[in-house]
Structure 1
C-alpha cells in the first residue's frame, strides 16, 4: 500500500459500513455519528463505500447524509452503484447487461443446483424462490422487487443494470464455496467476499470498491495519497490498497489485518471514530 505520512491530513475519508463503521447490530453509535459529522467542519470530506445495495441505505441517512449535497451520496453494491440517498436516485450504474447476467446465473446454478440466486439491480432485487433472503422484514431492509421461478431469471427487464449477482448455498463452508464459485466464474466477473456464510457476491469485470472510489476522487481532484480508507473484509482490500492509508478495524479478516497500513479498535468499540477523532479532531 502507498503509506501516507503521519503528519499528513487526508482530504477524504472513505469507510465500509458493516463490520467497520457500524456496530455488529447494524447501528450507528452516538460517538460514531458525532465524529463522522464533525469531519466536514474540519475540512475533510467523507463517503461510505459498501457492499450494501441502495435499498439498504435509507435508514442510515444520518451517516450517509440526510441533506442533498455530496455527503448524501454513497458508493454501494461493491462499486456497482453511486446512489443519492436523500433523493433516492441511482446516479451511476456499473454492471452486467440482463442477458449476460441470466447466462451467468444459469451456469452457476447448474454447477450448484442446491443454491439460490438473486440479482441486485438499479431498481431493487430480483431473486429465485430458492434464494433465502434473510433480511426480509428487518427495519431498513426494503423488500425485494420481484420473485422469479426459473434458474435463468428470465423475467428480468432488458432495460435494467444488474449490479451484483448473489449465489447462496448455506450448506457450503465459506472457503470452499468461494473457491469453487471462483473457478466456475473464470474471467466473467469479480467475486467479492464480505463475510456472509455460503454467499458469493459477483460484480461485473472491472467493478470494485477501489475502481469507483478512484473515479469519485478523480472527479474531485483528490489524489490517492490524500485518502484514508477503512475496512474489515476481503472485498475491502482493493480499496485499502489503493488509498494512501488503508486502516483495518481490529475485528477484520486476517487477510485484511495483514495487508493494512494501520489498525484501529473494533467496530463495536467505535474504532473508526476514535481513530479519526485522535488524528483529525
Structure 2
C-alpha cells in the first residue's frame, strides 16, 4: 500500500470504479448501501464513471441500477461508451496482423490454449473457451482466426489446466509487448492494443472534462485495476483485492461484501 502520499481529503470531482469484486459481489448486484453512496456522491457534484473489464454488451445495463453516470469505460479501456447518445467516445482496436500472429505464437508455446475475441458490442470464442466458462450464448468458432477480424479490441486466452497466475506470465513472455496484457477475476488473460488500459481511458476522458488525476478517486480489486489506482489522486483497493493490487493502492478498504466502496464515500462526504 502506498505510504508516501497524504490521506485523501478531496475535493474529488470524479469517482472511477471497477464492477466485479468492487461494487458488484457474487450475487451479481450492488448492495443498497453502495448504490446509496454512489447516488450521494453524484448529488454532491461528483461524476461516477464505471471502469470495467467487461465488454459493453455485459455492462451497459448497469449504470442506471448503480446510480452511476452515463459514461462507461469497458473492455479494460479499449472502449469508452456514452449511454445517453449510444455512441462510442473512444474505441481502440488491435492490429489484425498482430493479434493473428500472437494467436499463432501462443499455440506454439502453450499447448491446448483456447481463445475468445471481442469487437464492438459482440464476441465469440473457441469451444474449449466457451465450455470452461459455461458460455452458451454464441455458437463457438472452430478457430478464432476465422472470427471477424476488423475492429477486434480484446483477445482472451485461457488454458483448461493452467491457473491464471501461472498462465499470465507465460502469455506475457510470448507476446513480448506486442499487446497490453492483464487479467482479473475470470481465468483468462486479457490482451488489448498497446497503451490501452482503464487508466489511459480515464485520462483521456478527464482531459476532455478538465479534470486532473488528483481530482479522481478510484476503486478496484484486481491486476487490471492497478494502473487506474496508481494514476488516480487516491486509489483504493478492496479488502478482497489481489495482494499485488493492494500493494499499489493508497488505501485498502473493507471487502466488497462489507460495502468497502460505500465506507470510503460516506467518510469523504462527512
Asked whether 1:271 is paired with 2:270, we answer no
Partner of 2:111: 113
| Cα drift, residue 111 of structure 1 | 2.2
After TM superposition, the score normalised by the length of structure 2 is 0.90
| Cα drift, residue 174 of structure 1 | 2.3
Asked whether 1:11 is paired with 2:13, we answer yes
| Cα drift, residue 122 of structure 1 | 0.8
Matched residue pairs, number?
267
- Checking the alignment, whether the CA contact within 8 Å between 1:65 and 1:72 is kept in structure 2 is no
Q: Which runs of 4+ in 1 moved over 4 A?
A: 63-66
Q: Which moved more, 1:18-27 or 1:229-238?
A: 18-27
Secondary structure class of the residue paired with 2:157 = strand
CA deviations 1:14-51 (Å, max 9, x no partner) are 11111111122221111111111221110111101110
Q: Which moved more, 1:228-237 or 1:101-110?
A: 101-110
- Checking the alignment, whether the CA contact within 8 Å between 1:64 and 1:72 is kept in structure 2 is no
Out of 75, 78, 81, the residue aligned to residue 79 of structure 2 is: 81
- Structure 2 portions without partners, runs of 5+: none
Asked whether 1:168 is paired with 2:166, we answer no
- Checking the alignment, whether the CA contact within 8 Å between 1:116 and 1:132 is kept in structure 2 is no
Cα distance in 1 for residues equivalent to 2:175 and 2:154 = 13
Partner of 2:216: 227
Check 1:100–1:10 CA distance in 2 against 1; reply closer, same or farther (3 A cut): same
Cα distance in 2 for residues equivalent to 1:108 and 1:17 = 29
Check 1:65–1:225 CA distance in 2 against 1; reply closer, same or farther (3 A cut): same
Q: How does 1:1-281 map to 2 (within 5 A)?
A: 3=5, 5-63=7-65, 71-85=69-83, 88-132=86-130, 134=133, 136=135, 143-144=137-138, 147-151=140-144, 153-158=145-150, 161-197=151-187, 199-280=188-269
Q: Which moved more, 1:82-91 or 1:173-182?
A: 82-91
Cα distance in 1 for residues equivalent to 2:25 and 2:143 = 37
| Cα drift, residue 86 of structure 1 | 5.3
